[in-house]
Amino acid sequence: MGEKYILFFEGNGAEYRPRNCHKKNTVLLLLLLLLLLLLLLLLLLLLLYYYYYYYYYYYCYYYYYYYYYYYYYYYYYHFYYYFYYFFCYHHLLLPTTTTTLLLLLLLLLLLLLLLLLLLLLLLPTTTTTTTTTTTTTTTSTTTLLLVLLLLLLLLLLLLLLLLQLLLLLLLLLLLLLLLLLLLLLLLLLLLFLLLPPPPPPPPPFTVTKNVFTQWLLLQLIAHIRGHACFTNSPCYSYDQPEPFKPT
């Protein structure tokens, strides 16, 4: 069974178009909408991942400085939580770089697919044009676009493989650096453990009690205060004779 055509009259000539051309356009439009939805979903996942990562990164950072403040009192806990902070930092940073690169590559791939679908929508498919004098047939561009799509996919796969190799190398280097830093911190911890503890504080200041000296001091304070209260009272004036003062 051959493909059925519909005759369209335009100007001085006529054109035969296939019946299923509208179906192809609707399918391409549906694919375009699906890819746009996938792009939005990937962007949403990227934003959620970054929010989750930064929240837990500052959580570890906060506890690191909290235990650094109490370093002079609990230095054993300080080093323990410094390891914890270092572990959190490196194990949250490495998955972030890999996942962001992969998400960006997926976004790039989806953008390329969108461009190809737009080209498929804009460029014409196989048509047969019939006029009153001559008949011309245009070649199809669908096969050429499919070949270009396959080439782009192969290039993207090669780029993904290269990036994975680079990420593995970086991961190995970071693990080596992490091991070196852990060894250095263990050495510092051993040094702190081998150091002698700080000397205890001096005993509190003690005073020997003497009842007689305390009584004499109280009598002297009472005598001075009583004399000051009497001379500063309103009853005492210069017009009246001086009160009797014992010699």
pLDDT in tens, 168-178: 888 889 889 98
**Residues in contact with 6: Cβ distance below 8 Å, sequence separation at least 6, in sequence order:** 16, 17, 18, 19
What's the whole-number average pLDDT of the chain?
63
Select from 104, 103, 66 the least CA-distant residue to 85. 66
User: Other CB atoms closer than 10 Å to residue 67's CB: what's the count?
Assistant: 19
Select from 174, 155, 177 the least CA-distant residue to 166. 174
Q: What is the pLDDT of residue 232?
A: 56
Looking up tokens 């940073």, which residue turns up?
93
Q: Are 75 and 188 in contact (CB under 8 A)?
A: no
> Could you say which DSSP state residue 99 is in?
H
Q: What is the pLDDT of residue 80?
A: 45
**Residues in contact with 64: Cβ distance below 8 Å, sequence separation at least 6, in sequence order:** 81, 82, 85
Say which residue, 244 or 150, is predicted with more confidence: 150
pTM: 0.29
Residues 178-215 pLDDT 10s: 889 888 888 888 887 777 777 777 666 555 567 777 77
Q: What is the pLDDT of residue 94?
A: 46
